[in-house]
Amino acid sequence: QKEVEQNSGPLSVPEGAIASLNCTYSDRGSQSFFWYRQYSGKSPELIMFIYSNGDKEDGRFTAQLNKASQYVSLLIRDSQPSDSATYLCAVNALGGSQGNLIFGKGTKLSVKP
């Protein structure tokens, strides 16, 4: 059974700081990596995806992928209180009982004003 691991947190950072969220995955053959944000009581929404090794930037968000280390991270620059949420890492699967995405349990981020 393939797995995706995240530190559950909570991760607390002051407003304006960089928040760093980490995720490791067990299947070396994984190809696609996603970061979802979930506000309390709401559904997950996609904020970034990455397929290739290296960095991918989108506004204040940067996804980093290292396939050799089986590690993907999300950096949030200039963190805002509105970034306070749970961040779910997801990795593609190949069907069967895990469907096409395996989700980590999420890291709760709290940005303090």
Partner 1 sequence: NAGVTQTPKFRILKIGQSMTLQCTQDMNHNYMYWYRQDPGMGLKLIYYSVGAGITDKGEVPNGYNVSRSTTEDFPLRLELAAPSQTSVYFCASSYSWGQETQYFGPGTRLLVL
Q: Tell me how far, at minimum, the Cβ of 113 lies from partner 1, in Å.
A: 26
Among 16, 54, 59, 99, which residue interacts with partner 1 (rule: CB under 8 A)?
Answer: 99
Cα(81)–Cα(13) distance, integer angstroms: 10
Q: Tell me how far, at minimum, the Cβ of 17 lies from partner 1, in Å.
A: 25
Q: Tell me how far, at minimum, the Cβ of 67 lies from partner 1, in Å.
A: 15
Residue with smaller CB distance to partner 1, 8 or 18: 8
Cα(23)–Cα(7) distance, integer angstroms: 8
CB 73 within 8 A of CB 63: yes
Interface residues with partner 1 (CB under 8 A) are 8, 31-32, 34, 42-46, 49, 51, 88, 92, 95, 97-101, 103-106
